Structure 1
Amino acid sequence: MKTIHIKVFAVLALMLALSSCNIYRPYKTPEMNTDDLYRTDVPADSANMALRPWQELFTDQNLRNLIDSALVNNFDYQTAMYMVEEANAAFAQGKAAFFPTLNISADGTLSKVEDVPHGEYYNIAAAASWELDIFGRLRSAKRAAKAALLQSIAYKRAVETQVIASVANGYYTLLSLDKQLRVYDETILLWSETVRTMEDMMEAGSTNLAAVTQSRANLYSAQAAREDILYNIRVTENSLRLLIGQPAGEIVRGTFEDQQLTTDLQVGLPSQLLANRPDVQQAEAGVRAAFAKTNVARAAFYPRFTITANGGYANDGTVSFAPGAFFANLVGGLVQPLFNAGTNRANLRIAKAQQEEALLAFEKSLINAGIEVSNLLYNYNTTAQKLDARAQQVEQLQIAVDATNELFKLSSTTYLEVLTAQQSLLSARISQIGDQLTQMENVVNLYQALGGGWERPVEEEK
């Protein structure tokens, strides 16, 4: 027995000596240059609108209610939460690999032969197995599972921000369609009066049939366009209902004019994208997972040491209980890969290549984040200039419509000029609503691009 103990301790000493070869390599977050990520003249400042809760950004209570409902019932978001649960279970399984496994078995037999005493046979056994993580294989596998968990959490955050932005943009689109509908209703009312006036003028001999038919065609065109808007309103409502996990139906909403979104666009420092953008977090966790899997592949070249213990009780069928029937066994096992057709070497090459792929994906996600922020900032600024010009255009076209109507009544111009002015004014008013919607979407999308929307842990908010 003493010799067995010496051999076991000798094997353990050998394992400890081999472990000093530093097979396991610690992970370090890749260094990324974030200085030039933003193409903007905005001065660098740590103030970042992404850190604001979405409840502060969106002041319309109807929109808040929709977002709250979406974060409970949205199908994609619920799926993402279950993916986190799956990753949590896999991580727990990875941690459990450090502990021994225990199996218990029991059986018994009763035999009876005539004129022969009956025999009772019992066997109760327990077996335990424990792998010593000498070369960090289990530790690396656990860290790969932890990185996968971080990936799933980041994905859930990305879905959360996408859901919030989609609901907000859909809501603002719906309000803009409502406003377009009001513009068409006003236009149809005015053009209907114009048609009646034209018909009266034709009866009085002040105009001709061509002018009357043109005015009617103009009115019918507006009425047809109104039906398109009604259809788009219905489709947008149903799309929003899907986002909140509900069947088709109406959406309770406010008005386009009452919306108030911030004009203080604080984009923070480019380096903050690393902590705020969920897709960047997900990509970095992918690098972490690939690195851990490379360590697992590297550890496969080295031995695996397992300690197995067996014990139990068995009788010989003649005595119900005999102290000498107890048995126990302790075995230390060493498995060293020798020939496996180059599988380990190929697996290591694959793992290293996947690690490089993950690193490139991380770098790409960061650059893409900077480009998105830069484009949205520029679009916000250009749209602001466009809104100023559009307001002046609408004002001048309204003056032109009023003037041409008066001139037409005095027979100083043709109806073609009136028609052109009316159509131009309608087009400009609809474009103005589109520009206003674009500016709202710029704020929402910039908030998302900076990484705003997902719920941060309490310690991150302090």
Structure 2
Amino acid sequence: MSPLRFPTCPRRALVVALGAALTACSSAPAYRPPSVDVPAHYAGAGTGTEATPATSWTAAAPAADAPRGAWWRVFGDTQLNALEARVDVSNQSVRKALADLDAARAMTDFQRAGLLPTLTAGAAQSRYRTSANKQGASLAGKTVPDYAIGATATWEPDVFGRLRDEVDSARANAQASAADLEAVRLAVTAQLAADYFDLRSLDAQKRLLDDSVRGYASALRIVQNQQRNGAIDASAVAQAQTQLDSTRTQARDIDVNRAQLEHAIATLTGEPASNFSLPPAPADYRVPAIPAGLPSQLMERRPDIAAAQRRVAAANAEIGAARAAFFPNLVLSASAGLESSFFAPWLSAPSLFWSLGPQLVGTLFDGGKRSATLRAKTAQYDGTVAQYRQTVLGAFEQVENQLSALQALADESATQQRAAQAAQQALSLTTRRYDAGAVSYLDVVTSQTIALTNERDAVVIEGRRMAACVRLIEALGGTWDAPESKNE
């Protein structure tokens, strides 16, 4: 279809097109964040957290790309701080999410460029010959050279908002990718902290077992001497040997589990497991008070909720683009250049050619493609809304799980500490009775086993409390108004 020419009024056509573009309206439905049921307070807020009084619900404004902050500093562990600092630099999952964000932002720039004119230019030289047997042709049987240079400008005024809706969709997807990046950072740093505290828990258990092995080895030598002197029979020696070897086996099993956690930490920090080592160190269990805040604040803190909400906005804008496909497209085009059959007069005024005009093109029949596309985009929007609401429900579930876990583990820690103290006292009394000949060595072995088991259980519970703290921070979105740690 050849463009209409308006050689006498190019400015008027341009003014009309600019006015149409500036007054373009979006075809997308008015966007509102999906509604969700938000409780007034957390059911599990209590022991181990700062409960916040319930207030009226406020509309959430997710901070899609807000940094989660160095939340791990609340634990005051310098080794953990050093490991976490390596995540942004070396972790490959974070680098992948960062690359995805760069790609999404580039797509936004690509869509935004569609609002601007496109300018092309070119030069060509050719020779052609018309058949000598072609009747009525003035150039029949002649070879004609052709020299041409020209430029063409095209612009599609966004009259019905299709291009703007595509830009809005790309921008919302870029914001979702920014939130995805923060979600990956939060997940990686939380996993690193959880693995770190699990490793320190194993270090504490290993020290208990190593101390027990040394004590049991010393006890075995004593009962062996007593057997040689005829004071006891071989059963006491067998019991002591069994206890020693069993404890050595447990200590060796700790080494296996610790190595696996060490390798996992190496991967999270972006270093080959073969090149990484983390020396044993005492476990410093300081469970911080974590303010859970209001459930409505969770929707502002969680990066995955922010990402889901921005994807709903992107799907809403895509509905607008699908609706705009039912309207015709207006394209303005202009071209100008020089063309001649001889090179000598190429730059003279008679060689000039130009054209200017609008083109209005619309689809009259497509077999229902546009209707199907609109239905698909509407269904995709409904799916993103459902995914958003499911993400919110899952976030509340995670917070409640960790709040309940912290409360239960706090109670378990208190009772287990008392049990460990009682078992240690029972061991001391049984040992005295054995020295006095009132009980057999089997009673001593039993008391030692009970004492060691209770001490290990106490250490395990404290490690679980630290891991639950990490998971609660992750469930809350990795940030809250908490005082800065003294150990920076």
Q: Structure 1 length normalisation: TM-score? A: 0.88
Following TM superposition, by how much is the alpha carbon of 1:321 offset from its aligned partner in structure 2, in angstroms?
A: 3.0
Supply the AA of the counterpart residue of 1:238: H
Q: 1:177 to 1:302 in 2, by over 3 A?
A: same
Kindly report structure 1 stretches of 4+ aligned residues shifted beyond 4 Å: 1-6, 8-13, 19-22, 118-121
Aligned mate of 1:349, from 366, 375, 397: 375
Unaligned runs of at least 5 residues, structure 2? 56-66, 129-142, 481-488
Residue 332 in structure 1 maps to residue 349 in structure 2: no
CA distance in 2, matches of 1:440, 1:152: 30
Change (3 A) 1:23 1:232: closer
Give the C-alpha shift of residue 281 in structure 1: 0.7
Q: Which amino acid aligns with 2:311?
A: G
Q: Answer 1 or 2: which has greater helix percent.
A: 1
Map residues 439-450 of structure 1 onto 2, 5 A cutoff.
Answer: 439-450=465-476
Q: How far apart are residue 152 of structure 1 and its match? A: 0.8
Provide the residue aligned with 1:142 in structure 2.
Answer: 167
Q: How many angstroms apart in 1 are the aligned matches of 2:213 and 2:257?
A: 19
- State the shift of 1:260 in Å: 3.1
Following TM superposition, by how much is the alpha carbon of 1:280 offset from its aligned partner in structure 2, in angstroms? 0.5
Aligned amino acid, residue 357 of structure 2: V
Q: Where does 1:267-286 land on structure 2 (aligned, <5 Å)?
A: 267-286=292-311
Match of 1:85 among 83, 95, 102: 102
CA shift at 1:365, angstroms?
A: 0.8
- In the TM superposition, what are the counterparts of 1:30-429 in structure 2 within 5 Å? 30-36=34-40, 38-42=42-46, 43-45=51-53, 53-54=70-71, 56-108=73-125, 121-248=146-273, 249-252=275-278, 255-262=281-288, 264-317=289-342, 319-429=345-455
User: Are the structure 2 counterparts of residues 406 and 383 from structure 1 closer, same or farther at C-alpha, using a change threshold of 3 Å?
Assistant: same
The CA deviation string for residues 236-275 of structure 1, in whole angstroms up to 9 with x for no partner, is 112111111111244446734434341x220111111121
- Counterpart residue type for residue 194 of structure 2: N
What residue in structure 1 maps to residue 133 of structure 2? none
Amino acid at match of 1:314: E
CA pair 75-320 structure 1, distance change in 2 beyond 3 A: closer
Letter in 1 for 2:368: G
Q: Separation in 2 of the partners of 1:20 and 1:332?
A: 17
Change (3 A) 1:55 1:254: farther
Q: Quick one: distance in 2 between partners of 1:109 and 1:343? A: 42
Higher mean displacement: 413-422 or 99-108: 413-422
Question: Does the CA-based 8 Å contact 1:238-1:250 persist in structure 2?
Answer: yes
Q: How far apart, CA to CA, are the structure 1 residues paired with 2:231 and 2:81?
A: 57
CA distance in 2, matches of 1:351, 1:77: 30
Choose 406-415 or 331-340, whichever is displaced more: 406-415
Cα separation, 1, equivalents of 2:115 and 2:351:
32
* Alpha-carbon separation, structure 2, partners of 1:37 and 1:352: 34
**Residue 441 of structure 1, CA deviation:** 0.9
Distance 1:94 1:52 in 2: 32
Query: Relative to structure 1, is the Cα distance of residues 20 and 162 closer, same or farther in structure 2, using a 3 angstrom cutoff?
Result: closer
Which amino acid is the alignment partner of residue 122 of structure 2? S
- Structure 1's unaligned 5+ residue stretches are 112-117, 455-462
CA RMSD of aligned residues (A): 2.9
Per-residue deviation at 1:156?
0.4
Once structures 1 and 2 are overlaid, which stretch shifts more, 317-326 or 397-406? 317-326
> Does the CA-based 8 Å contact 2:175-2:307 persist in structure 1?
yes
In the alignment, the residues of structure 2 paired with residue 326 and residue 25 of structure 1 have an alpha-carbon distance, to the nearest angstrom, of 48
Q: 1:21 to 1:287 in 2, by over 3 A?
A: closer
TM-superposed deviation, 1:196: 1.4
**SS of the residue 1:126 aligns to:** strand
Structure 1 pair 193/292, CA: closer, same or farther in 2 (3 Å)? Answer: same
Q: In 2, are the aligned partners of 1:171 and 1:240 still within 8 Å (CA)?
A: yes
TM-score using structure 2 length: 0.84
Label 1:55 to 1:185 Cα distance change in 2 as closer, same or farther (>3 A).
closer
8 Å CA contact 2:287, 2:465 repeated in 1: no
Aligned length: 443
Query: How high is the sequence identity, in percent, across the aligned residues?
Result: 28
Structure 1 residue 52: deviation in Å? Answer: 6.4
